[in-house]
Homo-oligomer: A and B are copies of this chain.
Amino acid sequence: MKLIYINLFLLLLTTSVMSQESILGFKPTTVTAQIQLEKEFDSKLSANNLDQWMKRMTAEPHYVGTEYGRKNAEWMMNQFKSWGFEAKIETYQVLFPYPKVRLLEMTAPGKYTASLKAESVEGDKYTAQGEALLPSYNAFSTDGDVEADLVFVNYGIPSDYEELEKLGISVEGKIVIAKYAGSWRGIKPKLAAEKGAIGCIIYSDPKDDGYYRGDVYPKGAFKNKTGVQRGSVMDMPTYPGDVLTPGYGATKNAKRLKWQEAPTITKIPVLPISYEDALPLLSALEGPVVPESWKGALPITYHIGPGPAKVHLKLEFQWDLKPAHNVIATMKGSDFPDQWVIRGNHHDAWVHGAADPISGMVALLEEARAVGELVKAGKRPKRTLIYCAWDAEEPGLIGSTEWVEDHKEELKSKTVAYINTDGSGRGFLNVGGSHSLQAMVMEIAKSVTDPQKNVSVYERRSAVDLMNGGDGDNKLYALGSGSDYTPFIQHAGIASLNLGYGGENSGGDYHTIYDTYLHYTRFKDPGFAYGVTLAQTAGRLSLRLANADVLPFEFKQWQNTVSTYLKEIIELTDKKREEVDKHNSMLDKDVFRLVADPQKPFTNPERKDAVPFLDFSPLQNAVSRLKAKTDQVSEISTDKLSAGQLAKINQSLFMSERILLREEGLPRRSWFKHQLYAPGFYTGYGVKTLPGVREAIEQDDWKEAQEQIEILAGTFKGFEQHLDKIIAAGKP
C-alpha cells in the first residue's frame, strides 16, 4: 500500500463502511485483527469505573505535596499493577510555594479588606472542607509588600497597554488590577512588571465565567461571587517545570538555583481574587471610563484610574521543596519493545479537580485497564505502551517536565509519540498536535461515535465548522502550551497530541473549590458518556500507533499545514505594513486629533517606522521543495517492502519530529527548541507557529525576523534530507 493512499480514500468516502476495510498504517492482512481489537477494547470500557474512580480521587484536595496526592499516586500504581502493568512512582523534589501571608486591603478613598475566601455551598460537602482547601493564590508569585494607586488594565495583555498609552496613562509605580482570561494568567504580572507596575491583582469578572454566562453554583455551573481561580504565574514561556532546575531533572541531589534567583518566578507580587472582593476596589476608581471592549458585567461604570483607590498588597510564601509523584506504568511491546507510545494525564489538582484533571485521568485509567484485559487475552501491543499520571502539572507542568528532562536522551531515541489528555467533558472533539499525525487522528475521529447524536465525533465537529462558515474539514490545532505535552513536543521533539471533549461543559469552576465530583456529574458529563468516548478515542490512538505495520505519520497534510503557516506570516508582514502606512497617513491627515473628544484624555499617537520587505524566498523555496518530497514519500509502496526496509522507514518516521528541533532553541528561551510550534512569549498558552520568525515580526524586530527565516529554512532543509532517507529506504 502507499502511505498516502488509504488516507485520501478515507477522506473521500464515509468511514462507517470504509473503516471496516482499511486503516492508515495497517496492511490488508492486519486490518481486520486491529478492527476486531478495537471493538473488543470498546466493549471493555465502563462508565461506572470512571464515576467511582473520580469520586475516590476527588474526595479531598490533592495538590502537589499533599498526603492525598501521594495516596492517589499509590492507588493508581496499584491499579496499574493489578491490570498487568509494570508500574512505579518516580518522585522529583520540586519547589512549590505555599501561601503564608495573603493581605489585600484598600486604604483609600474608603477602607476595605478582601476576604480572600470562597463560600461553601449548600448541597456540596466538598466545598466545606475548611482548612484542607488550598487558599486561593497564584503559585510562583514572588513575596512582596506594596502599596500604591490602583489601575484597571482590562486583561493586562499587550493590546491593553497600547490602549492605555493612547490615553496617556502609565502603570509605573502602580498596582494593576486585571481580569482573568484573554491570555494565560502568567502574562499579566509579567507584562505589568515590564511596564513598571509594583503589584498585580487578578480577578474573575462575572462577564467571563460568572452570572453573565449562566446561573452560578450551586444553581448553575458558573462562578459565584466568592469563587477564585487559583493558578500558576510562573514564566512558563521562558521554561516550564521546576523553577530551580532548568533543563534537567529535579532529582534529590540535583544542583539547584536559589529561589530568589529563579528567572521564572514573577518580579512583582500577584494575587487572584473574587469579583466580590474586586467590586469595592473597581467601584472606587475614577479617571477615564474604560474602552467599550474592556467592560465587564459588574453593575458599575468601569473606570481606569489611576486611583483614587489605593491598595496595600502583602504576600509571603513558604518556599519549600515538595515531592512530585509521577506514576509510570509500562506494558512492554511484543515486537518492538524499544518503540514507546506514551500516554499521559496529570493527577494533581488545585483543589479537588474533578474536571481538571480527574475527568481525563479516569478516562486514561479505564483505557489502561482495557489494554490490560486485552493483554491478558493474548493481545499484547507490538510496541510498548507507557501510561503516565503526572504530578505537579498545575504549578507549571513540573512532574512531566522533570521526567522528560531526566530521561531526555532515552525518550528521544525511543518515543514514537506522546498522547495527552487533561480535563474533558460533554460536547465536541477538540484535538491538536503534530500535523504528521493529522491523517490518523481524523481517521479515528470518523470511527468513534458521539454518545448524544449517534454520528461520528468527526461528523459532529464538522457540523460546528459548517455552522461557523467553514468547509467542515477538521484539522488539528497547533500545540502551544497549557498541559503536559509541552516538554514532549517543545523540548524533546516528540510528535504529540492533546485531546478532549468539550463545548457543552462550560462553567466557572476552573481552579476553584467548586470543581468537585458533584459539580462535574451535574454539569460537565453526567453519566460519564464522554469520558468513555475519550477513552475510546485516545485508546484507538494508542493502539494504532502501537500496532501499525507502517507508523501512521503522513506528510502531505503536514506540508500543506506548514505552507499555510508560511502564508500567514507573509500576510502578517504585509498587513503590518498596510497598518503602519494607514496609521501614518491618518497622522498626516490629523485624523486622530480631529476625531478625539477634547473633554477626554488623548495623546496623538507617534509616527511608526515603515515595515520593510523581508526576503521570504528561502522559506518559500524550502516549503516548495518539501512539497515535492512529501509527494514522493506518499508514493512509497510499503506493501512491497522487506521487514528490514519497514523497520528503517518506521524508525525514520517517528524520528521525523526530532528534525524540527533546533538545539539552540528559540531566541531568549533556549528550552523551547521546536521550530514549528511554541507557546507565545506574550500569550503564554496560545500557540505561535513558525515561532522564531512570527514573534520577530510581531515584535517589529526585522533583523531577527530575517535571521530566523534563514534558520527555519535550514531546519526545513534538514527535514528535506530526512525525507530523502525515507524515500531511499522505500526504494524497491
Contacts and interface: CB of A to CB of B under 8 A. Distances in A.
Contacts of A463: 589-591, 594-595
A599 B297 contact: no
A213 to B, nearest CB: 8
Given A463-B589, A586-B467, A599-B504, A301 B594 contact: no
Contacts of A206: 299
This protein's copies in its complex: 2
A289 interface: yes
A248 interface: no
A220 B466 contact: no
A453 B592 CA distance: 12
A453 to B, nearest CB: 6
A300 interface: yes
A562 interface: no
A13 to B, nearest CB: 16
A216 interface: yes
A537 to B, nearest CB: 18
A214 interface: yes
A460 interface: yes
A211 interface: yes
Interface in A465-480: 466-467, 472
Contact of A455 (B427, B504, B594): B594
Nearest to A215: B301
A594 B504 contact: no
A462 to B, nearest CB: 8
Interface in A412-462: 427, 452-453, 455, 459-460
Interface string A593-621: 11101110000000000000000000000
A220 B301 contact: yes
A690 to B, nearest CB: 29
Nearest to A585: B466
B299 A298 contact: yes
Contact of A214 (B212, B301, B459, B597): B301
A453 B289 contact: no
Interface in A157-207: 206
A295 interface: yes
Contacts of A598: 452-453
A586 B215 contact: no
A290 to B, nearest CB: 10
A8 interface: no
A101 interface: no
Contacts of A464: 595
Contacts of A299: 206, 211, 297-299
Nearest to A504: B597
A27 to B, nearest CB: 34
A305 to B, nearest CB: 14
Contacts of A594: 453, 455, 459-460, 463
B591 A466 contact: yes
A648 to B, nearest CB: 44
A215 B287 CA distance: 11
A212 B453 contact: no
A220 B599 CA distance: 13
A463 B213 CA distance: 37
A504 B600 CA distance: 10
A472 B595 CA distance: 12
A212 B211 CA distance: 16
A452 B598 CA distance: 7
Given A586-B466, A599-B504, A211 B591 contact: no
A479 to B, nearest CB: 25
B295 A212 contact: yes
Interface string A285-312: 0000100000101111100000000000
A452 B595 CA distance: 11
Contacts of A300: 211
Given A214-B289, A459-B594, A594-B455, A466 B297 contact: no
14 contacts: A206-B299, A211-B300, A211-B301, A215-B289, A216-B301, A298-B299, A455-B594, A460-B594, A463-B590, A464-B595, A466-B591, A467-B591, A467-B592, A504-B597
Given A212-B301, A453-B594, A455-B590, 5 more contacts: A212-B295, A214-B301, A216-B301, A453-B593, A463-B589
Which 9 residue pairs across A and B have the least CB separation, nearest first?
A463-B594, A299-B299, A463-B591, A211-B301, A504-B597, A215-B301, A463-B595, A466-B591, A467-B595
